[in-house]
Structure 1
Amino acid sequence: MKTKFCITTLCKSAALALALFATQVPERAAAQSLFEAVITVNDAPITRFELEQRTRMLQLLRAPGDPRKLAREQLIEDRLKLQAARRDGIEVSEEEVQAGMDRFASQGGLTGEELAQRFEGAGVSEESFRAFIRAGVTWAELTRAKFGPRVSVTEEDIDRAREAIGRGGGVEVLMSEIIIPYTPQTQEQVEETARRIAEVTSESAFSAEARRYSATRTKGNGGRLPWTPISDLPPALQGIVLSLAPGDVTDPLPLEGAIALFQLRDIRETEVPEPTYAAIEYAAYYIAGGRSKAAIARAQRIEADTDTCDDLYGIAQGQPESVLERGSKAPGEIPQDIAYELSKLDPGEVSYALTRANGETLVLLMLCGRSETIEDEEPVVTAEDETTADSEAGEQQALSLSETERLSRQIGDQRLNSYAQGYLAELKADARIVEK
């Protein structure tokens, strides 16, 4: 069985380190500073170099939250996971680590080697990437060996899951938003402002911050959004929002050229089933000038002159092809900032809250349409399938087995993850963690 893992909240050499970080200090002093222990976990050191590397990697991966805080948490957990695996005699091979790198990189359409090269070019050593993967693969092997025998899924469990699905219904959330754009010159200041806003505990205070800083159309309304089906949100944001209690604010979420924060105001169940989308079609028209008055005024004129995505071809006529992009993608393939803006739109509506090129280009987004998943679609039957079953009965049996396997796997994974999280909490509670 293949090992899987991901970044959680949560979701990838010494010589290189010196070359990257020791440019303006004596070599010996730099090495001492970089490789001194800043945290110990049961006497095992975590160095400043490791913390800086993991922080940089999380920034490149656009992991939600404060990247330095998340890097610290991950590295502490990595030490605990590897220590526990060592006690149980579990050690993964270099081949398994390489396979894990490939699986992780495949989420972005790359090989492990290609992603490692991209990390290297951005200041993250291959060994740091490999260490990240090694901890995840080792933990997956450990938890499967330790708790796998305890996980069983009965027919009653699957029947209850089917019944829950059959009842339909869905979840809607009532949120407020703040999206703060930045340029390279203002990024540090915006990140500091976002961390402060993340500590807000009241709806009125969050709304006041939205009126002051947010670049979205909801700014004048204190960032308040209407009831929204959870399935309309980007996949990565759904889990984050569902982990909040009413009144809670997310950690700052990095987008391209902006920082986003969300406050959950309320949540409710509905009797209307949530739609699931196979693809979302949208268009992006790029306007020079970033968030300047002239660029925003042009976006407003385009909004007034267009009703559908096809109308944008007329707007872009005579300009370079690169100013207009249009396509259809699965929800998980759409960049998170674009996916979030699209979640607020109906077909034909536009948004111009986002920028590209370090804030120098304004993005006018228009939703063209959403294609819902067809649950009753007949499965593809190969010639090999047809030799082992009658047509209608065989197709129904194949569909039934597929659904049963899928539900069984989902239930089993949830239970295994529950055991793993409980075990990690025990390891943390018993650990000696010292910050230098």
Structure 2
Amino acid sequence: MVSKDHSPHVLILGGGIGGLTLAQALRKKGIPFSIFERDSEQNSRSQGWSIGLHTILDDLKASIPDDMPSLETVFHLHPLQFPSQLAVYQAQDPSQRHGVTDDGSGKLLRANRRRLREFLSTGIQVEFGKQTAGIKENDHSVTVNFTDGTSANGDFLVGADGVHSIVRRHLLYPNEDKLKRLPIATIIGEVTLENEDMERQLELGHSCYIVRADNDITGSGDLVMFMGVNDVLPDAKSGLYYWFLIWPDEAATQRLHWTATASQQELLSAARAMTKNFAPDFKAIVEKTSVEGMRAPPLVMHDVELSPEDISSGRVALLGDAAHCMTPFSGQGGVTAIRDALDLARALSRVAEDGLRGAHLEAVMAEYRDTMLERGVRAVQLSRDAITKSKLVREGVPFAYGQFSAPIPLEKIRL
């Protein structure tokens, strides 16, 4: 524990996974903090879909307080007992698959994002409805002004405020934000499946699977379908599923891409047309999706790459999407945000324990910044290349979740 006489007060903007992880790590170290979230309450908007946690689980467990529930409570397939698994297929052949499966060690944990956020909220008081209006900093403190007329003052400010980060723009000012729209288009659907339909999807991939189609199959350019389980319902025989259709499209860099203005019916019709030559098992989930299950408009894909020269080191820091938002195509975003948060908590602990000031403080924070940005840029590039450059991933090559792709035997599942 850190002596309160030397503990800096940390302001955290953003109550998502990265901000909450930082808050928990600071809570364990006895470093005071305040956490602010622009949403009116935790469930005021969609919590997003399931994410893979891997390579950071031991560090995460060691860095959070002992009063936390078991991390296994966030498992997206609970109460089912299947291991996390990601499989890859060619669009017309469900008989051959490869990918990664947890080996029983629990080192690959695919988490339901809502459950993960609730887990990370344990013992944390988040101030909701706090939209940032402005940031002021000097050599000794940082002040955040909110649109409701209130303000907060602290020794450090952490921007965990997502893709459109106000803190990032503050650090980059007067230069332009480096956030960019990518030439990648999407169509997204959500559907509840039960009984035999759910069993077949679990057989194709316990957690999720990827289907890749060449342009001679779809006629619309290289096409990827990603299917994932978001949550298993209490009856353990039905579940919430989501799917993405993803394809390279230079027009997606423009604000008026056709998917942005298409109706739910138009998006569903387009998805069914694009997957019409898929094997029946793969296109079944699209065909079972209702018009109401279509997300309109779909997600816009962004990423951002920063260098140490872009942002100063000192009393304002970034983590997660605020520093290096990325596409979800290599399963790196959530893990990278959590690793950022754990590293930043250690850096702030060094500041607190040593009473560092001036150049020493800047050196510690610069070390965090440089390491975080190097890791983030690498993850951004891998995630972008996963859809814009790579073809179907082959057996035995580095793939996802820090593991190598391997053949996955076909199986039969009965719930």
TM-score by length of 2: 0.26
Of Structure 1 and Structure 2, the greater helix share is in: 1
TM-score by length of 1: 0.25
Which of the pair has more CA radius of gyration?
1
Q: Which has the higher contact order (CA 8 A, sep 6+)?
A: 2
